[in-house]
Amino acid sequence: MVFTAILLSVSSAFAQENKFIKEYLERLERSKDYLILVAETMPEDKYDFKATKESMSFAENLMHIAWAMDWHSESLMGGREARNWETDVELKVDQKSKKEMIATIDYTFDKTIEFIKNFDTNRLEERLEYFGANRTKRQILLLLTDHITHHRAQMLVYMRLNGLKPPRYVLYQ
């Protein structure tokens, strides 16, 4: 009887973790679709637009999202050494065209989604340091989505500042 209770408890926790990942991936797919639509909607000649001198450009925000997805998944959660921001140009604007940046963000979302699909849910409770805070890997996933939303919101403001109407978010919830 005790063994059965333990087994049911473990099964329930595992099912909850799988449900969390399933729902998380669904949300990440929708976020990908919306971000790509935003990127496609902004004219290429406005990709260098910055709200202020100190701000990232529209293009830099887009590529920063790609960088963050790679870092949060592959490095923080997966343990791979982080890319060198100063020298690695794969996930930076560099000399990329709008089409190349959209392809990069699309690929990075797919790579991140695949990483999360294959992530061992038993490791979601593992803790690590995150900018001075101790966080679980589950929290890292949630922080990643917050980060994507944060930079995408800046991109939406840039669209408005350029007289463009952003795509409706409600269609991508």
- Token pair recorded at residue 101: 């940046």
CB of 128 within 8 A of CB of 76? yes
Q: Is the pLDDT of residue 114 over 90?
A: yes
**What was the pLDDT predicted at 14?**
47
Q: Is residue 118 part of a domain?
A: yes
Please report, for residues 49, 85, 98, 163, the alpha-carbon distance to residue 73 in angstroms, rounded to integers and kept in the order given.
29, 16, 25, 35
Q: Is residue 69 part of a domain?
A: yes
CB of 157 within 8 A of CB of 86? no
Q: Is residue 5 part of a domain?
A: no
Q: Is residue 147 part of a domain?
A: yes
List, for residues 147-167, the tens digit of each pLDDT value.
999 999 999 999 999 999 999
HSE-up of 11 (CA within 13 Å, CB side)? 6
Q: Is residue 12 part of a domain?
A: no
Please report, for the domain that includes residue 69, its CATH number: 1.20.120.450
Does 72 appear as a known binding residue?
no
Q: Is residue 140 part of a domain?
A: yes
Q: Name the pLDDT band for 76 (thresholds 50, 70, 90).
A: very high
Q: What's the domain range around 164?
A: 18-172
Q: Is residue 1 part of a domain?
A: no
- Token pair recorded at residue 150: 């944060």
**What was the pLDDT predicted at 9?**
47
Q: Is the pLDDT of residue 3 over 90?
A: no
- Domains of the chain: total: 1
- Interaxial angle between packed helices 98-117 and 58-70, expressed in degrees from 0 to 180 and rounded to the nearest 10: 20
Does 150 appear as a known binding residue?
no
Polymer length of the chain: 173
CA 107/CA 89 separation, integer angstroms: 15
Tell me the pTM.
Answer: 0.88
List, for residues 28-75, the tens digit of each pLDDT value.
999 999 999 999 999 999 999 999 999 999 999 999 999 999 999 999
Q: Is residue 156 part of a domain?
A: yes
Q: Name the pLDDT band for 8 (thresholds 50, 70, 90).
A: very low
CB atoms within 10 A of CB 141: 24
